[in-house]
A and B are shown apart, each in its own frame.
Chain A
Amino acid sequence: MNRIISRFRTSLALKVIVSTVLLSLGVIYVAGSALNSQLSTGIRKVNLESSLTEARSTIFSAQYRFVLAQGEKEAAVRKVIDDVISSATSLTADANAREVIFKKSEGNSREINYEITSNSVDPKSIPIELSRSVRKSDGNMWSYISLKYLDAHEIPGLAIGQKVLIPNAGQYEMYIVFSLADQNATLDLIARYLLLTGLFLIFLIGLITWMVLRQVVKPVREAAQIASRFTSGDFSERMLRHSQDEIATLAMAFNDMAESLEKQFARLENLSRVQQRFVSDVSHELRTPLTTLRMASEVINSANASFDPILARSSELMVAQLDRFERLLEDLLEISRFDAEAAVLEVSEFDLIGLVQRCVDDLALVATQNSTELRIYTIASEVSIKADIRRVERILRNLFTNAIDYADEKPITITIVASDDDVAVGVRDSGTGLDESSLTRVFDRFWRADLSRARTRGGTGLGLSIALEDARLHNGELEAWGRPEKGAHFVLTLPRKESESINSRLIKLQPDDFHE
């Protein structure tokens, strides 16, 4: 049932067909009933008139015969009555039966009794009301009755009666009863035919509606199918135009839209290709001279000891700034690769805890120089993960160096928590921290936590932006929490399998050691 309802809701064709059929059912019912009652009234009327004419002449001829038999003996009168009956009656009690009833009028006290009925009709068939009105009237009276036979079977009938005077016997009522079985059968037949015609019409209407609808719905369905193909990135499909009507206009508009979309996408794709190409070219063009520069600076700097102090310091600065320039170039190239969506994952399986340990070992010296230390907390001894190790390492290094930079000589806590599907790394420092407005901007490019702070750290200002992009590329998430002077907490959550998405946050962003 639910399926039918939902089908009804979703199918325009079904909806239209059902409502059309229901409406035409109503119309056909009303029209059919009117026609049926008109027809039956007409038929009854014609039938009644012919019956009345026939009855009148029969009764008149009976009256005439009775007048002629005035003064005759009882046997002769009875013969006249028999003659009247046999000439007016049908032989059998079939559908066309015509019966005659002679009934002694009420108040006729003569002894002699000529009451008689043809074909063993029950005289009680005549209702009292009819009998009364016949007695009161001089003309003939009629009524629809139920014609009963003595053998107890009944048929619908029309009784027409009039007073007659039978010689020496006083006033009688003579009734001619016509069987209506035939007429009713005809009426039934007509009603049945009307019903059948109506049903057939409704079926035809349903069929026609369906066929017409198909013409309208088919192109709409086609459009929907093509549109869904657009969604999946295939813009090659077009709607077919069969005619010049509104559907064709729809098809034309649809095709125009598809064409425009295809062009736009092609343009964007081309832009992206141009961008990638540009990035690649810039990369090549800048890297070669930078290589020469670096080697030259190293050669110069290696002779540092023999320089006078100003020259020596200058050569040191040159080497350091070339380092910085190179880092900046790499970060910029990486960012433009993300922007051009040209960044790809090179997935391999590795142990995340091992990687964290190695990064911490590498940065131990830097941490010591900043009077802080990196402490790892985890219960697992190994967490294997399928990810791009180069990018994950870059995220970790960014988070760790960032924490070292802002640690304010307090130790840094690194927490690793893993579930079957995800793994999270939390990096918590208790240093400078971040305020509300900084939190929203901490991943912005070239944004720095403290503008008054000198740029001594040598970071590029792109580290956290790249870390966030790297995390997102893995379908992971990188989030930041912080309070001024209460430190910061960065949480990286990654799915342990390639191209899955994370389904839980294993480390709370607000650290447990913090209370508002």
Chain B
Amino acid sequence: MTLVMVVDDDQDLSEMLGIVLTGAGIDVDLVSRGDEVMDVFRNNPPDLVLLDVMLPGMDGIEVCKLIRAESMVPIIMLSARGDAYDVVRGLEAGADDYMVKPFKHPSELIARIRTRLRRTNTDISGLLTICDLAIDVQAHQVLRAGKQIALTRLEFDLLVALAKEPGRVFSRDALLREVWGYRHSTDTRLVNVHVQRLRAKIEHDAERPEIVVTVRGVGYKAGVMGGS
């Protein structure tokens, strides 16, 4: 069964989240302090973390960085502010997605969780190549000259989405649909921040990207093979 760790200092909200998630067939681990997260995380690694930004003991952003340092587990930040600053900080610290309280609908939260947990691209078999990277979709691995590059599941999905249609230019909206599973969202910050993070891991020079190329005014596309 899927295990989701819920980190929120509001007891009532945690309990409510527990009720909703359990109802959807998801196991829940409740943590109320930021500084307790890592112990629980190591003892009982979850499949996904729901992480509030404002936490006693340790800031949610810090917690996010600590988790990222040792795991590629999907992280969804919960923010009560919805300010651009909080959201971008969370994404830059390694969160895959964010939700602003109050959620429109409990089912929206569950849909997000399921999107982050689903096995994507199961239809693709074999290796994809993009520039000098080899992507083994089944094994969930990215290799450069035989050496593995560690990517979060979301970064991996983003790279695969671009790599499986090398010539196509993806608008940010299209990527939000394809990778994040949003029907329509206008928050392109999500795409921008994750493209930056992906580039930092796979590009030779993140300032002059060759693999994930920006198409001005439109979006992104995979770099042409040997095009450097």
Q: Report which A residues bind B (CB closer than 8 A).
A: 280, 283-284, 287-296, 298-299, 326, 344, 346, 348-349, 358, 384, 389-390, 393
Contact = CB atoms under 8 A, between A and B. Distances in A.
Given A280-B81, A283-B80, A344-B84, A291 B54 contact: no
- Looking at B16, B17, B82, B83, the one whose CB has the most chain A CB atoms below 10 A away is B16
A298 B80 contact: no
Contacts of B102: 287, 290-291, 293-294, 326
B186 A292 contact: no
A389 B16 contact: no
B85 to A, nearest CB: 9
Contact of B106 (A283, A290, A298, A384): A298
Contacts of A390: 186-187
A298 B105 contact: yes
B106 A289 contact: no
- Looking at B17, B84, B105, B186, the one whose CB has the most chain A CB atoms below 10 A away is B186
B204 interface: no
Contact of B16 (A284, A287, A296, A348): A296
Contacts of B106: 294-295, 298-299
B13 interface: yes
Interface residues of B, number: 26
A286 B82 CA distance: 13
Given A290-B102, A295-B20, A295-B106, 8 more contacts: A283-B81, A287-B80, A290-B101, A292-B16, A295-B103, A299-B23, A326-B102, A348-B188
Contact of A291 (B101, B187, B189): B101
B189 A292 contact: no
Nearest to A361: B184
A292 B13 contact: yes
B217 interface: yes
Contacts of A326: 102
Contacts of B20: 295, 299
A326 B101 CA distance: 10
B81 A294 contact: no
Contacts of A349: 217
B19 interface: yes
A280 B187 CA distance: 21
23 contacts: A280-B83, A283-B80, A283-B81, A283-B82, A288-B80, A288-B101, A289-B10, A289-B12, A289-B13, A291-B80, A291-B101, A291-B103, A292-B13, A294-B106, A295-B20, A298-B105, A298-B106, A298-B107, A299-B20, A299-B23, A299-B106, A348-B188, A349-B217
B23 A292 contact: no
A349 B12 CA distance: 41
A291 B186 CA distance: 22
- Top-8 shortest CB links A-B: A291-B102, A284-B80, A287-B80, A287-B101, A291-B101, A290-B102, A292-B13, A292-B16
Contacts of B107: 298
B84 A346 contact: yes
Contacts of A284: 54, 80-81
